Amino acid sequence: MIKVSNISHFYGDEQVLYDISLEIKEDELVFLSGDSGSGKSTLLSILSTLLKPSSGELLIDDSTLDDVENLDKFRQENIGFVFQFHYLINYLNVYENIALAALDDKKKNINSLLENLGILELSSRYPNEISGGQRQRVALARALINEPKIIFADEPTGSLDSKNSKIVYELLSLAVKNGTTVVVASHDMQIQDHATQTIRMIDGKI
């Protein structure tokens, strides 16, 4: 699924990742843990194709990014993103926020996905009319709508209480059972109970 070989990364003169190699298999829930500044968010950005490493190689399904003709299309068809802040569009309702991200042939699945996530009754509401936990479930629906191979989540429960954090992790675990690989970078150790692999980052190294 994902293979990283000897990846290092610099921001200017500052090195933040040192010769990282790892492998993530299909249907795994991988937990990237580490303190602030450990390099986990940078590594997640590289794994998710949002950042090109300074050196080393990233393979997704045995292909390098140089093999991908249209990276934006590749992301839309294969990758879902969930962040600490939901980045929903306030003037669009829940249904419209998800429809905006959906491929044309996936829009018919929006209501059934909302029902599976327990938020179908929120479809006509706007982000400022629902709770933080509900907004994050909408963000998860947006990430899932195109049935991606991989979901990358960066501190997805950072602004949630423990109850809503547990719900998000249970939903991510369900996505794994349904065939999606999930990679989560987080300070929240709750996710360790759901993870199939934990990668601990310290000072840019595993």
Percent of the chain with pLDDT over 90: 43
Contacts with 175 (C-beta within 8 Å, 6 or more apart), sequence order: 144, 151, 182
| pTM assigned to the model | 0.86
State the chain's mean pLDDT as an integer: 88
163-202 pLDDT, tens digit each: 778 877 888 888 888 889 999 998 878 888 889 999 999 9
Domains and CATH numbers, the chain: 26-52+63-200 (3.40.50.300)
84-132 pLDDT, tens digit each: 767 799 999 999 999 998 988 899 999 988 988 788 999 999 999 998 8
Supply the pLDDT for residue 124: 94
Supply the pLDDT for residue 7: 94
